[in-house]
Amino acid sequence: MSAHNSHDVLRRDPRAEWIARNRLHPLHGSVVSADMGEVRGPTGLLRKNPHKVGFIGPNGIKRIDRLKGNAAGAGKGRRSSAAQDIQLPLHQVENPDFYVVVVPDMVGGRLTAHDKDVIGQAHKLIAGAEGKGAVLAVCFGQSKEEHFDTAGVDRLLLLEDEYYEGYCPEQRLAALVQVESAYKPLFWLFPDSVNGGSDLGSRLAARIGERPAVQAWLVDSDTSVCRGAGGTTDITRSTPRLLMLAEECADPIDETRHEALPVELDLVPAVIAQLQDRGQVAVDPNAISLAEAEFILSAGNGIHNWDQFHSAAAVLGATEGASRVAVDDGFMPRFRQVGATGTWVTARVYLAVGISGAIQHMQGIGQCDKVIAINTDAGCDMVKRAALSVIGDSEAILGELIKLAEDFRAQQSAGGDRDAA
């Protein structure tokens, strides 16, 4: 215990310090909780006691205190974690002097990782310019995104009319030309991707007379470094108004929350569409190579009912993949193997069933956007990597998944028949 002399000088208590270091001592808990013992290293330097950091949550699990002492009170009487109480600082831009317009791909109605990189680059350009700037995101089609604010969007123009659904580059180009006239943005940013960003950016560049920078990966307000010759060389040039950016061009926004204020613009749909989107062509998912597949259902050693696995892939419309164990055992062909020793995949959704997650497999799915794991082992590496995990028997879970998918398809068919009638 700490002692004081007549002059109120704090003195060390070697016994209390020894108890604080000894977790097996019966008085360890009381000494640490009362903050009576300091932990010093063999050289006498004061060290942070790792056993003191954090607090015990309502379910008995020790948690790290990220609220600097306020988490213990916040965690009492409820099961929510202390991290949920943390509110990111709000970044506001009132009456911006200029805009940087970002046109994200919005694949599936949500911001992709590439889109978020581009928004991060927009904020870097604003930081290097004079005056107050705001990021204006122009999004086409039906939006399912709920986190424009944490992605870094200051102003949001949602064009969700059916007029802009599907592949309609002429209509979208006409809308962007009107945005150019209304806002006079300092920069136009597009993701340089096959999902529409490079095509739409090229059309707008030709319309407004700008020579764009393509595959740009290192950009500031003065110079841009772009990949050329198939990525084997870098080309440095002055930064134009319109840029088509490569993936990982900048860090995404993750430490601030932005307003994402909706804006309205009276657009004149004056374009007569010469190209009409007739919808997606039905394609056998297994005819798509693993390297190009967007949705992969992958099987591992935990699959025992292979007929059910193939049925699940067919019902879900997923391309089949497999771990090395499943391939070596002869259940799947070699060209279906995912991993460093097979095919590196970049799927938007990777559903791993019964795969524990060997290091070679984890390397092969490193660029996948969302990983979902079905496994009986809650501590395996695949579950740790996954954004969503389901712990249980794979056969029972796949059976329920097939049933839900079939019911959903039946409801869609019934709704279509009623509309036709």
Averaged pLDDT, 342-361: 94
pLDDT at site 202: 96
**52: pLDDT strictly greater than 70:** no
Cα atoms found within 13 Å of the Cα of residue 78, Cβ hemisphere only = 10
- Per the listing, tokens 């806002």 go with 183
**90: pLDDT strictly greater than 50:** yes
The reported pTM is 0.65
Residue of 48, 110, 58, 100 whose CA lies nearest to 81: 58
Q: Are 336 and 385 in contact (CB under 8 A)?
A: no
Q: End-to-end CA distance of the chain, in Å?
A: 84
Task: State pLDDT tens for residues 213-261.
Answer: 999 999 999 999 999 888 889 999 999 999 999 999 999 998 899 999 9
Residue of 237, 229, 185, 180 whose CA lies nearest to 213: 237
Distance CA 56, CA 295 (A): 40
Q: What is the DSSP letter of 332?
A: S
pLDDT at site 278: 73
Chain centroid to CA 188: how far?
Answer: 23
What is the gyration radius of the CA atoms in the chain, in angstroms? 28
Largest interatomic CA distance in the chain = 95
Residue of 283, 277, 275 whose CA lies nearest to 166: 277
Distance CA 119, CA 136 (A): 9
Distance CA 356, CA 374 (A): 9
Which of 42-51, 160-169, 290-299 is most confident? 290-299
**420: pLDDT strictly greater than 60:** no
Q: What is the DSSP letter of 390?
A: E
pLDDT at site 267: 84
Q: Left if phi > 0, otherwise alpha if psi is -120 to 50, otherwise beta: which for 340? A: alpha
Lowest-confidence pick of 20-24, 101-105, 385-389, 399-403: 20-24
Lowest-confidence pick of 59-63, 278-282, 306-310: 59-63
Q: With b meaning 16 or more CB within 10 Å and e meaning fewer, what string describes 167-188? A: ebbebbbbbbbbbbeebebbbb
* Higher-pLDDT residue of 62, 193: 193
Q: Tell me the CA distances in angstroms from 411 to 28, 162, 404, 419, one per residue in order.
A: 62, 22, 11, 12
pLDDT at site 43: 62
